[in-house]
Structure 1
Amino acid sequence: MKTDLRFLIASFDGLRPDLIGPKLTPNLCRLKAAGVTLANHRTVYPSETRSAFPSLVTGATTVRHGMVGNAYVDRSVRPPRFIDTSDAVLLRRLDLDSGGRLYSAPSLGEILGASGRSLAVLATNTPGTTRLFHHKAEDFGHVRLSGHFREACTPDDVLAEIEARVGPLPPAPPNTEPDIIGQDWITTAFLDVVWPQSRPDVTVLSYGEPDFTSHFHGTGAEATRSIITHCDRQFGRVVDWWEAEGRGAGVQILAISDHGHITGHSCISVADYLRRAGFSPGIGPAPNVDVVVVPGQVGALYLADPDEAKVARLVATITSEPWCGPVFTRAKDDVSGIAPGSLSNHLVFADHARAPDVTFAFRADDTIDPFGLVGGTFYDNDRQAGLGLHGGLHPKELAAVGIVAGAAFASDSSASRIPSGICDFAPTILHLLGLAAPPNMSGRVLNEIIRTATPSEQTVRGETFEARLGSYRQVLRRVAVGGTSYVESGIAES
């Protein structure tokens, strides 16, 4: 069944839902007043951008799509290699070399393209993130535009026309400066060229802020609040267009974020701790490295020889430290990992072939940061304390924005408190377009917010899992709606 609906997904990278308000984000508030807020909405674990956005477009958790983190070790080749997924050129080569299996699940762009429909992407994220929204756009002749990086753009003639009408592709600003010009460029490109000429069935308009600014200034810093307001102002142009034209053309708007942020308060070096414990750590596979420590806020540890005894020794080492939060290894049974003290990584839907041998979140807490925001954590990078971080299992990292508006959805200015997640958007969009979702989508159709859906009672239940090793104890909490489970939080204590 073909429908006349179209969808615009406006994403705000790293925006905490509790930062949305009339003063900071009046236009997001305007959309809330016109639609439905998903008040109990979450991302996936790890709560990293290049795991979450693949979950958006595949409707699946990391175990099914395979983007297990912002970086990972690829063991499918010899010798193993370190993969940085921010590199758009590398991602294209990996997809071609693997026979089109960069993702282990079909993505929204592929599904739409195979049905004669289109997905357009306009993004100011890293070039790799931009590609991951639609990694096969060039194969279908679809539009994928980066606000800064030419290597992530396709097709060339569309980029050339936009540059002629809107202005040259702006260079990316230094990481320490908020990205203002990129947000303006992609918004104008959509409104002035992409929509009038292509009228895509689905569009992803991804603002790469406030993520960058939060990482270098702090989640509640004035610079971060300023760029949030600027992105909201650009989004206001989109809402103006929607009210004047888009709504009448059948466009449904989804405003989302991929994760939240908490604040780093205590800097440590995982590699130094492992070295003192007798390991030979490195940041990539090498003959003299017995454990690869993948850089990032999620602890991803790959052993050169991942036998059970070595995994157990590694887990015992890190769980004895005050910075170590929840720990996951491959499954021993339905709950436990193979190492004492660890939980099975299938509990967080992360047991893909690319997954680390040991995954851990840094220990987080509910301290109040200098800006009055809840959430603090240990961290491992070269930046000062007080800056924004994400990737772990604190509720504020997992909390994500979810607002939908349009004729397909329920009454104005309402809220749904039924748990939902970033994996649910793709199957919901496909359902409303009359297209079948592939069986490996782990998300569910959000029938509770669809205007024409038959009301049904949703069974919601909590799930708790625990593991111990000596004085170390961890607790993972999930919530399930029918047969779909969402990760709520993970804590560890000594």
Structure 2
Amino acid sequence: MSDPSRHFLVVSFDGLRPDLIGPELTPNLWRLKAVAVTLANHRTIYPSETRSAFPSLITGATTDRHGMVGNKYVDRTVQPPRYVDTSDAVLLRRLDVESGGHLYSAPSLGEILARSGRSLAVLATNTPGTTRLFHHKAEDFGHVRLSGHFREACTPDDVLAEIEARFIPLTPAPPKAEPDRVGQDWITSAFLDFVWPKYRPDVTILSYGEPDVTSHFHGTAAEATRSIIAHCDHQFGRVFDWWEAEGRRAGVQIFAISDHGHITGHTRASVVDSLRAAGFSPGAAPAPGVDVVTVPGQVGALYLADPDEAKIARLVATIATESWCGPVFTRAKDEVNGIAPGSLSNRLVFANHFRAPDVAFSFRADDTIDPFGLVGGTFYDNDRRAGLGLHGGLHPKELAAVGIVAGSAFPAPGRISTVPSGICDVAPTMLRLLGLAVPPSMTGRVLGEVAALSPSVHSVREDVFEARLGTYVQTLRRVHVEAACYVSGGWVG
């Protein structure tokens, strides 16, 4: 079934919950589902953050393999240690050069395709850093990488110049509280009117940075968020019309995905205040006098200045008493437990990379119903009001992701597949269908059951892990399909 003449178009909707897709709000995605296979049990990775998930998309691997352990992390390979914000495209380029080309610890899709004389094009309205992470070496291979707003993420220069001269110049990103419509229009037009006609990339990633940002500032199903979801769906409708008129005949296969879902923040907390009350000296970045760095974000990442086992155990014991504390992970003591009592091994969630924090945790989440009628609520630590969208942790609605596949490689249109799948499976499936080898670094599996490459899935099983410390009890669930493993949820209480 492999066919090297095929092309792939991956269309991503950042932060879109699968249960928000419907005939009224997203008629074009609904239209796609009618001619596609829907992956009804599709998930992202842990942490469920954008700049961990998209690296998993393009490396086909979990965070322990590719090394993007969070949107932000502490780099302890240099002295003094430094705080890294991966939204910065210029910084990411410098880190890749400084490391001898090892920003990722696993080969990326763009590198793999380039070695076979194939191409990857990226058009995105995410942050500059996220746009670069889709293809961090695009300039080295002469591949197209375009941002809807940020010149520092664009390459080659002459491609951007020609698009701006022929169509429309880049515009600055709107304030975060305003939905981004112009950027979604720009990347859609750039793909349809220029990149596809001129270059016909083997693989294209078209990444709409919404509804994620609007959800963070307005709420997961607020009027403004629903409006930008509808707008992105309208832009996708232009792509779908092109596909039906031209792309399908040209061998284009479509993956429609999201990188994570959202749940709603209901109770504000302060990790820094809790640690300070327990006698720690926390800070947001490494600095003299800071004994634990609390990396900001909805997934907790704690880096100790002196990460010995006793200090890690004290840190876990401190946060486990807090009402806001959800599942907690530390480096492995054995196959299940972390080195700190009450913690699970970070290997269970595939987070055991050298960049990983000493203590990783999620905020406690639950199945409360938010003001929009959606399941999923959580404690949170930021300066925004309650009722806004959040992600990063282990609630099933954070881990749930859109997965829809269409094209000649995916027969049985309109079918719903309930076999578990995940974001790491996209790259190996595309490579197999392009007739290229799947490297051993990829932890994802080829979706043979939907791509007619294998008649059925032979083995699906679940495992459950638990850890306790006094009244603190945490549970982690995973599901295995053949050799692939997906994290399906983590809870406390």
Q: TM-score range with shorter-chain normalisation? A: over 0.9
Aligned to 1:462: 462
Letter in 2 for 1:189: A
* Corresponding position: 1:386 with 2:361: no
CA distance in 1, matches of 2:6, 2:190: 22
CA distance in 1, matches of 2:244, 2:135: 27
* Corresponding position: 1:22 with 2:9: no
* Corresponding position: 1:436 with 2:437: yes
CA distance in 1, matches of 2:422, 2:292: 33
CA distance in 2, matches of 1:476, 1:18: 23
Aligned to 1:74: 75
Secondary structure of the residue aligned to 2:385 is coil
CA distance in 2, matches of 1:402, 1:319: 35
CA distance in 2, matches of 1:25, 1:65: 33
Letter in 2 for 1:459: S
* Corresponding position: 1:113 with 2:127: no
- Offset, 1:31: 0.8
Aligned to 1:123: 124
Secondary structure of the residue aligned to 1:455 is coil
Aligned to 1:416: 417
Q: Deviations over 1:123-167 (max 9, x none)?
A: 000000000000000000000000000000000011011111221
Secondary structure of the residue aligned to 1:456 is coil
Aligned to 2:251: 250
Secondary structure of the residue aligned to 2:378 is strand
Aligned to 1:98: 99
Letter in 2 for 1:382: D
- Offset, 1:458: 2.4
Q: Deviations over 1:329-352 (max 9, x none)?
A: 000000000000000000000000
CA distance in 1, matches of 2:281, 2:424: 38
CA distance in 2, matches of 1:241, 1:158: 22
* Unaligned segments of structure 1, at least 5 residues: none
Secondary structure of the residue aligned to 2:333 is coil
Letter in 2 for 1:263: T
Contact 2:83 2:285 in 1 (8 A): yes
Aligned to 2:369: 368
CA distance in 2, matches of 1:492, 1:131: 36
Aligned to 1:240: 241
Letter in 1 for 2:237: G
CA distance in 1, matches of 2:225, 2:3: 42
- Offset, 1:244: 0.3
Aligned to 2:483: 483
Name the stretch that deviates more: 1-10 or 91-100.
1-10
* Unaligned segments of structure 2, at least 5 residues: none
CA distance in 1, matches of 2:133, 2:456: 35
- Offset, 1:456: 3.2
- Offset, 1:356: 0.2
Q: Deviations over 1:285-328 (max 9, x none)?
A: 01100000000000000000000000000000000011000000
CA distance in 2, matches of 1:354, 1:8: 32
What is the TM-score when the length of structure 2 is the normalising length?
0.99
Contact 2:457 2:482 in 1 (8 A): no
Aligned to 2:340: 339
**Aligned pairs, number:** 492
Contact 2:90 2:152 in 1 (8 A): yes
Secondary structure of the residue aligned to 1:197 is helix
Aligned to 2:43: 42
Secondary structure of the residue aligned to 2:64 is helix
1:103-252 matches, within 5 Å, as 103-252=104-253
- Offset, 1:2: 5.9
- Offset, 1:410: 2.1
Secondary structure of the residue aligned to 1:248 is coil
* Corresponding position: 1:427 with 2:428: yes
- Offset, 1:438: 1.0
Aligned to 1:289: 290
CA distance in 2, matches of 1:293, 1:407: 48
Secondary structure of the residue aligned to 2:9 is strand
- Offset, 1:454: 3.3
- Offset, 1:437: 1.2
Letter in 1 for 2:56: S
CA distance in 2, matches of 1:269, 1:2: 53
* Corresponding position: 1:59 with 2:60: yes
Aligned to 2:14: 13
Contact 1:166 1:185 in 2 (8 A): no
CA distance in 2, matches of 1:4, 1:367: 48
Moved over 3 A (4+): none
What is the TM-score when the length of structure 1 is the normalising length?
0.99
Aligned to 1:351: 352
CA distance in 1, matches of 2:204, 2:455: 29
CA distance in 1, matches of 2:458, 2:82: 45
- Offset, 1:223: 0.2
CA distance in 2, matches of 1:94, 1:454: 41
CA distance in 2, matches of 1:369, 1:2: 46
Name the stretch that deviates more: 355-364 or 454-463.
454-463
